[in-house]
A and B are shown apart, each in its own frame.
Chain A
Amino acid sequence: MAQPVFPIALCALLLLSACSPPPKISRQTHPLPAGVDIARSEIGRSGGVFIDSSPGEPSTFNPLVSEDATSGGFIGLFLDSLVHNNAVTQEVEPGLAARWDIAPDNRTFTFHLRPGVLWSDGHPFSADDVVFTFQAIYDPRFPNRAAFDLSVDGQKFKVEKIDDLTVRLTTPQIYAPFLETVGGVGLLPKHELEPAFRDGTLLKSWNVSVAQKEPQRLLATGAFRLRSYQPAERIVFEANPHYWRADAKGVRLPYVDFLVTKLVKDANASTLAFATGQTDAEGLSPDNVAWIDRYASRYGFSVFNRGPSPNTGFIWFNQNPGHDTAGKPFVTPYKLAWFTDRRFRQAISHGIDRQGLVRGVLFGRGQPLWGPETPANKKWYNPNVTQYPYNPARSRALLAEAGFQIGPDQKLHDRQGNLVEFTLNSNQENQLRVNMATAFKENMRDLGITVNLSFLDFGTLVGKIQDSYDYEAGMLGLTGGGDPAGGISVFSSKGRLHQWYPNQKTPATPWEARIDQLMSDQLHTLDYPTRKKYFDEVQKIMSDETPYIYLVTANAYVGLKDRWKNIRIPPLGSLVWNLDELWTPLLTP
């Protein structure tokens, strides 16, 4: 097709054609709904195209199918929920429900929907849609993630329609993260999806193929609606002409006309697209900040430090006393005795030079971490946990107390004379983690401990940790943040991700029993100070007992083009969470 016969002439022609600005769209003007929400942000100007990139492809546009953050992010742009979680304040705000009442039993929530809200096809949004959404979620024909998030001990919530604009939800017991959880549930259009619900094909609706061929069928209540989807190339959203928010002058939000997401193959390509001025916003990893900053003035962007990220990194020892089907213990018994000794774990923790890790691995862009939450989670972070600053002398004292001693070979031995040696497993895909493991090995050598490093494929590693339990020590990370309820599978001794000893029938230690109790208690009260007190204690116990030896948390960085106004950067989650309020005085990029 394109034989480069006259390459120069052709290129010139193409360059000309590539520079045409996007056409100004005329927005359909619909009257604002009676229940319009007036944004308190600065008044802006309509128009413009916001461009970003995504290193992952959405796997679906159906919230019942979505399990990954990428798909969830795109779905959140067009499907709105009853309430919103404000990313900056971490408070719950009105969404499609203008207000709600909580009955004195703390289990009954009555939501009053905004009057006059329409779906993007002009059909009214009503309580029927809310009831339909919960029906679909709870239907056993459609196994989905939300069904488990929206139940307490396997019991579903009761959902009743009071009238067209009022819905009542009742939880079986008091359920602390109720509002946050409901805030994550995108409400589905009953009039569009009911046929698929009836014939059992609901999970196949709104898949990538429908999105490509009939984007207009993905009805929206959010700020945007899907305009086109080209797999592996781009997703274009346009302003939803029926969106229910407006600014103080009565101009309907969102201000931007189009939201274009370039789909790229990995995080490097995404970063490169931003660094060469192609996109408007990008989350940056600490090791990329320095070189990207050099292009800031050429392409008119700035790099912001969001402070500590919600990502934790840690090392742990396998404390599982069980054995495999052949009767072989998962962990050699004398090693299990070290790993279950708190003094041994604390000694290891004191032996790690975390400041060195921050300097050497994160180039100073991070800070030491002492507990399960990072300061990014403002609402739940407990700063008063036990800290283990770098102190090899203290390490040696703790080890001596626990009966370990340095032998004539200058290596550490336990009471029975066994050489202290273990293998640390981590995944090879994460370069920062590989570097940290190497630094850890050096730190341990100073204590006379021999650490062997084993970098595995992520799948193999997860298999060892969760199925075969055939390993000694592991190094991984978890993304924290959000409500404590999200951490139950980690902290509770019954939990699947209670990695040092998962799926316990009864708690192995008194402190694990205490954590179980606290995690259960915090779930069954709506009172924030009480919950905070309980969760603070969980964090304190985790730092005292150090089943996880926390390492460091990297800072999070974002790059953003300077032309955008009304930017409010939250410590957690998506940078452009208030996309409907963004505006730009410069319409062409």
Chain B
Amino acid sequence: MIPFILRRLTTLVPMLLAVTLLVFILMSLAPGDFLTPVKAQRDINPALIAELQKSFGLDRPWYQQYALWLGNVLHLDFGYSWTYKVPVAQLIAQRAPATILLSITSLLLAWTLAIPLAVLAAARPGGWIDRLTSATAYFALAIPEFFLALLAVWMAARTGWFPIGGLTSLDHDFLSPAAQFLDIAHHLILPTLVLGLGGVAGTLRVLRANVLDVLQAEYITAARAKGLSEKVVLFRHVLRNALNPLLSTIGYAFAGLLSGSLLVENVMNYPGLGRLVYEAFIREDQFVVLGSVVVACSLLIVGNLLSDLALAWSDPRVRYGR
């Protein structure tokens, strides 16, 4: 098992190299750089611009800049944000909790809704639960997340039932801890729904097919023949086996949630990594972009590794490393 984990982690290195190199080339090809807005201000001295260019290394060719950055990364220094003058790692750590919170709530929403619904739907294929969930799932899959986010913002603005974006109210600082908790929960409802709904639909469709498959298996007939109740058959025997393929996709799901949150965060004014990265891209704040790309790639690979491990744990037939 340990060699397997190590082997998987070493694949991270070439992948990160390739991805960061690509991002670096694309950013250097893009017109302008971080100092373009400064250059367009009328009362900034050219000597200051030259000095800033030098201190940022923007006067050197891109491959030199990239080599310098790589050298620093080897010492676990991901560089400084030019905008905020704060180490990139610190900046990401500042914004990550909000995004992780949103990812967890959406994943929870997706699984807690999808699993029971899928089992119920598969138990009576063609029944009203099945037809209703199928129709809803197709509908949810057909709506892009950003559009759903816009709809949610519009709904919030029209009805006033939910706050329009953000994670906390303006008077959050003045509230009691319990009220602060409720305040955050209130703000999380819409983004969670928007980000989680696609996940509900996707998970539901995959799981329903799996459950149907497993229901045909002979050991299910055996279990029923033993006289086990339908509930026990469905949730202990069928579900346990049907979940395995789903476990191996959870890593992708997590990485997908992060990229989805980039859109949703920007539309819904949510204070997480997505907004930070988007603003860094617009401003061409190189090291923040690179740092967040590194985080996203690592999450994808580590997420997949974790889901493989989860699969090995849940399915005794799966063995790695030998």
Complex formed: what's the CA distance from A278 to B160 in Å?
12
Instruction: Name A214-236 residues within 8 Å CB distance of B.
Output: 227-228, 230-234, 236
| B237 is an interface residue with CB less than 8 A from chain A | no
CB of B310 within 8 Å of the partner chain:
no
Contact A276 B269 (CB under 8 A): no
Residues in B neighbouring A18, C-beta threshold 8 A: 163, 169, 183, 186
A459 and B33 form a contact (CB under 8 A): yes
User: Are B188 and A2 neighbours in the complex by a CB distance under 8 Å?
Assistant: yes
Say which one of A99-107, A117-125, A325-333, A483-491 lies at the interface with B: A483-491
| Per-position binary interface string of chain B over residues 163-182, scored 1 when its CB falls under 8 Å from any chain A CB and 0 otherwise | 11111111111110001001
Which of A7, A62, A462 has the most C-beta atoms of chain B within 10 angstroms of its own C-beta?
Answer: A462
Residues of B within 8 A of A11 (CB): 161-162, 186
| Across-interface contacts of A7 in B (CB, < 8 A) | 189
Whether B90 pairs with A3 at a CB distance below 8 angstroms is no
- Pick 18 A–B contacts, CB within 8 A, sort by A: A1-B184, A10-B186, A13-B182, A14-B183, A20-B174, A20-B175, A60-B85, A145-B44, A203-B85, A231-B276, A233-B168, A233-B271, A272-B157, A457-B32, A460-B31, A462-B39, A486-B43, A487-B42
In the complex, A231→B91 CA distance in Å? 10
| Count, A-B residue pairs, CB within 8 A | 166
**Complex: chain B residue closest to A147, CB-CB:** B48
Asked if residues B42 and A22 are in contact (CB atoms below 8 Å), the reply is: no
Report the bound CA distance from A21 to B37 in whole Å: 41
A232 and B275 form a contact (CB under 8 A): yes
Other-chain residue from B44, B163, B269 in contact with A265 (beta carbon distance below 8 A): B269
Majority DSSP secondary structure for residues of A touching B:
mixed
- Do B85 and A204 touch across chains, with their CB atoms under 8 A apart? yes
CB pair A65–B31 under 8 Å, yes or no, is no
Report Cα–Cα, A493/B77, bound state, in Å.
Answer: 44
A contact residues, range: 35 or more
Are A22 and B84 in contact, CB atoms less than 8 angstroms apart?
no
Q: Contact: A260 with B170, CB < 8 Å?
A: yes
* 0 or 1 for each of B13-32: is its CB under 8 Å from A? (1 = yes): 00000000000000000111
Would A1 and B271 count as touching, CB distance under 8 A? no
| Cα distance A144–B184 in the bound complex, in angstroms | 39
* B51 and A231 form a contact (CB under 8 A): no
Are B175 and A489 interface neighbours, CB within 8 A?
no
**Residue in chain B with minimal CB distance to A154:** B47
Q: Which of B33, B38, B46, B105 has the most CB of A within 10 A?
A: B46
Q: Is there an interface contact between B266 and A265, defined as CB atoms closer than 8 Å?
A: yes
Q: CA separation between A479 and B284, bound complex, in Å?
A: 24
| Residues of B with C-beta under 8 A to A1 | 101, 104-105, 108, 184-185, 188
A20-B171, A489-B43 known; 18 other A-B pairs, CB under 8 Å? A1-B108, A3-B108, A11-B186, A13-B182, A18-B169, A59-B85, A60-B84, A68-B37, A148-B45, A149-B43, A207-B84, A209-B94, A228-B173, A234-B170, A260-B170, A264-B165, A278-B170, A486-B43
Residues of A within 8 A of B42 (CB): 478-479, 486-487, 489-490, 497
- Chain A residues near B220: list those with CB within 8 A: none
The winner among B40, B55, B83, B85 for most chain A CB atoms within 10 A is B85
Q: Which residues of A contact B279 (CB under 8 A)?
A: 57
Q: Which residues of B have CB within 8 Å of A496? A: 39, 46
Q: Are B52 and A233 in contact (CB under 8 A)?
A: no
Q: Which residues of A contact B165 (CB under 8 A)?
A: 264, 269
Given known contacts A59-B83, A207-B85, is B173 in contact with A3 (CB within 8 Å)?
Answer: no
Q: Shortest 4 CB-CB distances between A and B: which pairs?
A: A459-B32, A232-B271, A148-B45, A460-B31
Taking a contact as CB atoms closer than 8 A, the residue among A227, A272, A463 that contacts B173 in the complex is: A227
